[in-house]
A and B are shown apart, each in its own frame.
Chain A
Amino acid sequence: MATQSATAQPDAHRPTAATTHEVMIHAEGVTKTFGHGSSQITALDNVTVDIRKNEFFTLLGPSGCGKTTLLRLIAGFDLPDAGQILLDGQEIGHLPPYKRPVNTVFQSYALFPHMSVARNIGFGLEMQGRPKSEIKDATEEMLALVQMQHLAGRRTDQLSGGQQQRVALARALAPRPKVLLLDEPLSALDLKLRKEMQIELKRLQGETGITFVFVTHDQEEALTMSDRIAVMQAGSILQVGAPKEIYNNPARRFVADFIGDINILDGDLDAKGERVILPGGASIRALLPEGAARTGRVSVAIRPENMNLTAPDAPEAALTGRVTNIVYFGAGHNVHVALEGGGEVLVRRAQTDAQIGAHVGLSVPDAVQVLVD
């Protein structure tokens, strides 16, 4: 299965035709700094991004990359220093949070401890001054949606983490916002519950048809749930794309490094800039991202599961080396290979008969991703 996904689509990096998708959020040149003087931090640096209607959009990056800041700017908790944010075509960058048709699921859930589960869920509608009957109906509908009907009268501090999570979701969905913002909502849950909630969230997004903007530092979570992912670092968006695109064709060294395990090899571009010559002499088609140099020395990225072990003299062996270690991790084996001519790569196989110390060849995909630093 790994070798199949290795064949990268040649058009992966062409800008997707935006006209076919309606845009829900359009952020243009958004900049936000905190503090002043020498301690000033640029949390967002001239960020431009489009989030489409009805999509599950994830902002992925390490802590401090600006993903939460971008979320807070969309919610209205902070105001941008520069740039504008359009929601469904309307500029909202200057509006207070209570005037934006956007709701947030907080990392800490932030449920009101002095109110029952039902009142928490109805709070948004209550504040909008909707009629009591409507609030009651919507609350019941939301309780059913997150399967919490039996706990409507409970106080929120009597709930488990997973239950609180569901209430927080129901509370944010009840007013039917145009966009639901989720700030690392699953990070406080244990692994099993987190996996359940990932599927649950995806289901809710599909059922409600609301645009979800999800913030996480967990790359697996992002890959599992998202329609599209924006990888962020140091206040900038490095790459936006579908999970498969981000995973198989990372355009930047940071994106490649941040998501999963990856082997980064040095190579030389040929004269036309179409093929990469690896140190072993193998020539592979190069996938060049925008802005990459067309000649000279480059770095290429190959996923461990996209490489295979072969006999050293097999025709498909692009590289050769010696097995230094084999680590079993349940779903497969990680085979560490020291390359001839220096460097080490990781090969991931479900089954392997390789032995430590064996001389092996390595096959690579027929096209490899060239990285921009």
Chain B
Amino acid sequence: MADLTSSSAGTRLAEARRQTSAAARRRRWQLLSPAIVIIAAFGIFPLTITLIYSFLSPGTYGGVRWEFSTDAYVQFLFDRDIFDDTLQFSATYLSIFGRSIGLAFGATVGALLIGFPTAYFIASKPANQRNLWLFLITLPFWVNLLIRTYAILLIIRDEGIVNISLMWTGLIDQPIGMLYTDYAVFAGLIYSYLPFMVLPLYASLEKLDFRLVEAAYDLYASRFQVLRHVIIPMAKPGIVAGCILVFIPGLGAYITPELLGGGKELMIGNLIALQFGGSRNWPFGSAAALILLVVVMVSLIVYVRYSGKEGSNHG
């Protein structure tokens, strides 16, 4: 009986709520309009140009000739024989994509492994100390990424402080070639994007009810079991957000592989930049940029779908 009355009241409430929400929706669109204008002008419009350029032919001195061509996309997978014009499969650019995805994925995992304990540490501090720690995490943003990357370069190069001190202590006779390796790029990516991992992780760990952790301890969960069954599932929105925020910019990174990889170890970002610069192949550059975009979008959709299944229980 109590259920009946409450459900009819519930229906009326839902109806009233619908009416209010229609007005609220209109207001929300008005709030969004400046952002829509900016995204249209500086996002959709250039992207359309990129899309068009990717189907044109390269000009001899850069730029494009207005002739329709799918060569840019063909070139991505095939080599065209200069004598008989036959197409042969070539994995050159695919491998650059593969490397980039591998490096970005590795950097994401690395940032997660370093960032999670860091975020947990900050979230478990008393509230008045947390801001100081967050400030320290965001401190690197005060310095330009280019300069920070140069700093890494100075530290790990052959005549850098690491090699000099190791040689001075007699541990090594020859400098270790750390610069211009995948490891250097990997470390540089983790360093550059770590704050993007820590901040969303902190945001979800800070909301974590530590009484749940106590409850799990009380119910015979060891430290590892508490982490696995309570803390990580509860921090899932932060983990998803952090991984996206590190993986995507990591995949398209330009400065880090350029400086620390020495340009010889190409990532997609460098490949694209090269097409608009030295190689003067704007259509191919546009095509590579669009392929990157599609890869990112598809992997993002898959990832969010997958993690949303368990993550939607709370939020």
A residues lining the B interface (CB < 8 Å): 75-77, 96-98, 102-104, 106, 108, 110-114, 123-124, 127-128, 155, 157, 171-172, 175
Q: Is A108 touching B211 in the complex (CB atoms < 8 A)?
A: yes
In the complex, chain A residues whose CB is within 8 Å of the CB of B310: 114
Given A127-B225, A155-B313, A157-B314, CB of A112 within 8 Å of CB of B218: no
Q: Is A175 touching B313 in the complex (CB atoms < 8 A)?
A: no
Say what secondary structure dominates the interface of chain B.
helix
Q: Is B220 touching A110 in the complex (CB atoms < 8 A)?
A: no
Interface size in chain B (residues, C-beta < 8 A): 20
Chain A residue nearest in CB terms to B214: A77
Q: Is B219 touching A127 in the complex (CB atoms < 8 A)?
A: yes
Quick one: which of B228-284 are within 8 Å of A by CB? Answer: 229-230, 233-234
Q: Is A104 touching B220 in the complex (CB atoms < 8 A)?
A: no
B215 at the interface (CB under 8 A from A): yes
For this complex, 21 residue pairs linking A to B, each with C-beta atoms less than 8 Å apart, are A75-B218, A96-B217, A98-B217, A98-B220, A98-B221, A103-B218, A103-B219, A104-B218, A106-B214, A108-B209, A110-B211, A112-B212, A113-B314, A114-B234, A123-B221, A127-B219, A127-B221, A127-B229, A128-B220, A157-B314, A172-B219
Given A127-B220, A127-B221, CB of A106 within 8 Å of CB of B215: yes
In the complex, chain A residues whose CB is within 8 Å of the CB of B225: 127
Quick one: which of B162-213 are within 8 Å of A by CB? Answer: 209, 211-212
Given A103-B219, A127-B219, A127-B221, CB of A113 within 8 Å of CB of B313: yes
Q: Is A112 touching B215 in the complex (CB atoms < 8 A)?
A: yes
Give CA–CA (A106, B211) in the complex, Å: 8
Q: Is B219 touching A124 in the complex (CB atoms < 8 A)?
A: yes
Give CA–CA (A114, B221) in the complex, Å: 16
In the complex, chain A residues whose CB is within 8 Å of the CB of B51: none
> Scoring B residues 274 to 315 as 1 if CB is less than 8 Å from chain A, else 0, what string do you get?
000000000000000000000000000000000000100110
Q: Is A175 touching B220 in the complex (CB atoms < 8 A)?
A: yes
Chain A residue nearest in CB terms to B210: A110
How far does the Cβ of A157 sit from chain B's closest Cβ, in whole Å? 7
In the complex, chain B residues whose CB is within 8 Å of the CB of A113: 212, 234, 313-314
How far does the Cβ of B61 sit from chain A's closest Cβ, in whole Å? 59
B216 at the interface (CB under 8 A from A): yes
In the complex, chain A residues whose CB is within 8 Å of the CB of B230: 112
Given A106-B211, A110-B211, A110-B212, CB of A77 within 8 Å of CB of B217: yes
In the complex, chain B residues whose CB is within 8 Å of the CB of A108: 209, 211
Give CA–CA (A113, B208) in the complex, Å: 11
Give CA–CA (A96, B219) in the complex, Å: 11
Q: Is B217 touching A114 in the complex (CB atoms < 8 A)?
A: no
In the complex, chain B residues whose CB is within 8 Å of the CB of A123: 216, 219, 221, 229
Give CA–CA (A43, B249) in the complex, Å: 51
Give CA–CA (A98, B217) in the complex, Å: 5
Give CA–CA (A110, B211) in the complex, Å: 6
In the complex, chain A residues whose CB is within 8 Å of the CB of B314: 113-114, 157
B222 at the interface (CB under 8 A from A): yes
Give CA–CA (A102, B219) in the complex, Å: 9
Give CA–CA (A172, B209) in the complex, Å: 18
In the complex, chain A residues whose CB is within 8 Å of the CB of B220: 98, 124, 127-128, 175
In the A-B complex, list the 3 residue pairs whose CB atoms are closest, starting with the nearest.
A124-B219, A110-B215, A97-B217
> Known contacts A98-B217, A113-B314, A114-B233; can you find 4 more A-B pairs with CB under 8 A?
A104-B214, A110-B211, A123-B221, A127-B219
How far does the Cβ of A288 sit from chain B's closest Cβ, in whole Å? 43
Give CA–CA (A111, B215) in the complex, Å: 8
In the complex, chain B residues whose CB is within 8 Å of the CB of A110: 209, 211-212, 214-215
Give CA–CA (A182, B220) in the complex, Å: 17
In the complex, chain B residues whose CB is within 8 Å of the CB of A75: 218
In the complex, chain B residues whose CB is within 8 Å of the CB of A171: 219
In the complex, chain B residues whose CB is within 8 Å of the CB of A114: 233-234, 310, 313-314
Kindly name the residue among A104, A106, A114, A157 whose own CB sees the greatest number of chain B CB atoms within 10 A. Answer: A114
Give CA–CA (A106, B217) in the complex, Å: 13
Give CA–CA (A235, B218) in the complex, Å: 24
Give CA–CA (A124, B219) in the complex, Å: 4
Give CA–CA (A155, B221) in the complex, Å: 21
How far does the Cβ of A205 sit from chain B's closest Cβ, in whole Å? 19
Chain B residue nearest in CB terms to A116: B313
How far does the Cβ of A132 sit from chain B's closest Cβ, in whole Å? 16
In the complex, chain B residues whose CB is within 8 Å of the CB of A102: 218
Give CA–CA (A114, B222) in the complex, Å: 19
Give CA–CA (A114, B234) in the complex, Å: 7
Give CA–CA (A112, B233) in the complex, Å: 10
